Structures are given as structure tokens and as C-alpha cells.
Structure 1
């Protein structure tokens, strides 16, 4: 049977991007690693640097708990807070070394110019994230979600869910971009597509195993492949 009634074209669905911050848009992972190393030494805990790196991307509280468990120390709220405070102090001294990753500003500017919605969701607190966001020249009105605003940080999905809500988009239309397995596990739990970047030090296979359906070197590499993740030039 031929259908002779009027045909209604569906509006195209627009992809929205939810970005992690450290290791995804700014080159800060190793400053965080060294800050945690300094905090642990001050607290009398000896842990190899590579072990610390494997946990970067978690919230500070989860990181402290994981480190204490691994070293056999009692996981008390007081000890976890001490480590978080020591890390914050040490990172403050190292944060002047942090720079945007290659292509980060160009990528964000391109998305803004193309009217593609995007937001940033970081496991860091507002105090540490503020100066970093200034480096990226984030336009006014772009949603920023920090650890202070949600109940649980990565690998829980709360940060990305809150960012999508601020953008007014469904997670079905969201692409989470992150550099760690914790970002991608959170993306899976939020039921969003995950894109991994190698800029934070995790390997391609690790990121793919955690749920990345595409992996790129850094923001510059992602920018040249945006058509692969649903953004096409008009």
C-alpha cells in the first residue's frame, strides 16, 4: 500500500560533548601524580609513582582510600582527608607548570562556532579547576561541573549526568571524552558513548577495554576526526 499522507522529516539529533579536564584538555596528569607522591611521602607512605598514576582520574577521596587500602593502612575519614589536603597543597605548587594540551582550545572553539553543545565535568574541586579553566578561555555559559557539585565522582557517572542535565541533552546524544579508564567506566555507567585520549598516559587497549569506541592521541587528533564521532561540517 502506498502511503500518500504528508511525510514529516525528523530533526537531526545533535551530538553533545562532555569533557573530562585533567589529561583530556590540559596536560596536568603528571603534576597530579607528583603531588600525590609528595603527599604520601609526607604522610609516611611509600608507593611507586607508576602505581599512583593508575589511579589518577578518581576523585580525591576514592584515590586516598585506594592508596590506603593498597598499603594496608586503616581507611579512616581523618587519614583520607589528610592525604587530600596534602595533595591539594602540593598540586598548588606544581600547577604553574600545567598547559592546555595540543589542539584543546582549537577543538573547543570549533565546537562553539559549529553550535555543538559541550560541557566540562572534572573530578577536581572548584578551587583547583578554576585556574585551569582560565587557561582554556572557556566561554561564559558553558556548563562546568566539579566534584563539589555531585555526591560521587568517577567511576560513578554523577559528573557526566549532571553535565548533560545542565546542557539539557539526553545521555543518548552525549559523547564523553576522557583520558582514563575511570572516565570511560563512568561513561558506560551513564550509558553514553566514550572516546578515549592517550594524552593522560593510559594505553589504547586499556581505554578500549574500559569502553572507548574510538581512541585518539590528544584534542588536536580528535579535532581532525570529528566526523567519526558524529560532527560533520555543514
Structure 2
């Protein structure tokens, strides 16, 4: 699925933000929630192995984790795992906070007249916690969740759909995320990838996956915004 909008002669650009680990400090809450859910099904898995897959499609995430432990679960068990993860994440939701500069960069883009959207592999039931923490109302902002596309990262569907709703060609967007899955998705839809270190991946990993620039977090991107967004209108 590709964005088929015509190129804009004025070269407007837009930012497409991932949510977990990019705008909100929630990666490790997701890791612990998955750990809780997996243990309830007697599936032993090290925390670091879970962390390496946060941010990808839930189905792909589940396939890879179960491959690690050489298990094959039926649909009922998979549904229990997903429900247990959501419940455990809700229990941890009070500890989720916006990352430094997250609210400020959104405000700055609004001030500059630069459009933005949020595209997350999370389903609305968990993404809603993060959006509330960030102060973003999905009824007034453009937010694309896993529930709304056929495939999630590393497929580019989330970002393509966000660009479509912004009415800006995907090739004119800047995808901002913390994981290699974000950067791979950006590369696949020919968007510019910008990586953050705030979710636990290193600079070299993000650059190998396609990131043109890597910053610490939203505050660091805001400080260097003119490096990638010199023309605003």
C-alpha cells in the first residue's frame, strides 16, 4: 500500500511519530507487561529478548517470541496473552510519562505550521493510556493505531495511512521512531527516518536500519530541528 497523492510543488513536509519509546517513556512497561502475560502461560523468556521486539507488529512479535521457546500456541492462548498484556500494561500505566521535549516539539511544530501525526503499533486499548499522558486527543489529532491497518511495523502501513490522512505524499514525510522496526518501515515507504535513543536501541543499529539522523529524545530533536526541517511552510 503506497500513498498515491501527487507531489506538492511547495514541498510541505510532515512528521509521523511513533508513540511508545518515541514520545512517551513506556517501552519498559510494555516489556514487563509482556513478561507478566507470558509467565501466566508458563512461557519462560528473558526480559532482554522481549525488549528487542517491542515496536513491531503484535502478530510478528508473538511469532518470534514463540519461536524462541519452540512453542506453538493456539488462537485461544494467543488471545489470552494479548488480553493479559493489555491488563498488565493498564496496571503499569500510572508510571508512564512523556519523554523530555515530547509535548514541546508538538507545540513547536504547531507554531511553525508543520503538520504531524502519530502512528503506533499499539492497539487503541493501550495507546489511549499513552495519548492521555501526552495530552493528545485522538478525536482532534491524527492518530493511527494497529487496529486501523492491515499490517504493522516493519510494514509501512501505519505511516502510509498517517500521511494519507495528512494529505501529504509519504515521500515528503519524516518518520520519527526509536526502533529498527520504525526505520525499516520508513525505508520501505521512502520516507526520511529519524531515530531516537530513548527506547534502548543504539545509534549504529538505527543507522543500519535506515535512520538518516539519530537524536537522544524529542528534546534533542527540538534543539536540532533546523537540521531536518529548515523550510516550514
User: TM-score, normalised to structure 2's length?
Assistant: 0.92
Which residue in the other structure is 1:231 paired with?
230
Question: Residues 30 and 164 from structure 1, CA distance in 2 versus in 1: closer, same or farther, beyond 3 angstroms?
Answer: same
Of structures 1 and 2, the one with the larger relative CO (CA 8 A, separation 6+) is 2
Note if contact 1:164-1:174 (Cα within 8 Å) is conserved in structure 2: yes
What is the distance in 1 between the residues matched to 2:190 and 2:41? 38
What secondary structure does 2:198 align onto? Answer: helix
Which residue in the other structure is 1:78 paired with?
76
Which residue in the other structure is 1:215 paired with?
214
Shift of 1:75: 4.6
Give CA deviations for 1:34-86 in whole Å, capped at 9, x if unaligned: 11111111110111111110000012222112111111001533332222111
Which residue in the other structure is 1:40 paired with?
38
Shift of 1:232: 4.7
What is the distance in 1 between the residues matched to 2:82 and 2:76? 10
Q: How does 1:1-234 map to 2 (within 5 A)?
A: 12-138=10-136, 141-232=140-231
What is the distance in 2 between the residues matched to 1:34 and 1:210? 26
What is the distance in 2 between the residues matched to 1:137 and 1:94? 18
Note if contact 1:64-1:84 (Cα within 8 Å) is conserved in structure 2: no
Note if contact 2:12-2:232 (Cα within 8 Å) is conserved in structure 1: no
Aligned pairs, how many?
225
What is the distance in 2 between the residues matched to 1:52 and 1:233? 39
Which residue in the other structure is 1:4 paired with?
none
Which residue in the other structure is 1:6 paired with?
none
Note if contact 1:61-1:80 (Cα within 8 Å) is conserved in structure 2: no
What secondary structure does 1:213 align onto? Answer: strand
Which residue in the other structure is 1:7 paired with?
none
Unaligned regions of 5+ residues in structure 2, if any?
1-7
What secondary structure does 1:199 align onto? Answer: coil
User: TM-score, normalised to structure 1's length?
Assistant: 0.92
What secondary structure does 2:132 align onto? Answer: helix
What is the distance in 2 between the residues matched to 1:44 and 1:164? 41
The more displaced of 166-175 and 138-147 is 138-147
User: Radius of gyration: which is bigger?
Assistant: 1
Over the aligned positions, Cα root-mean-square deviation in angstroms equals 1.6
What is the distance in 1 between the residues matched to 2:181 and 2:73? 21
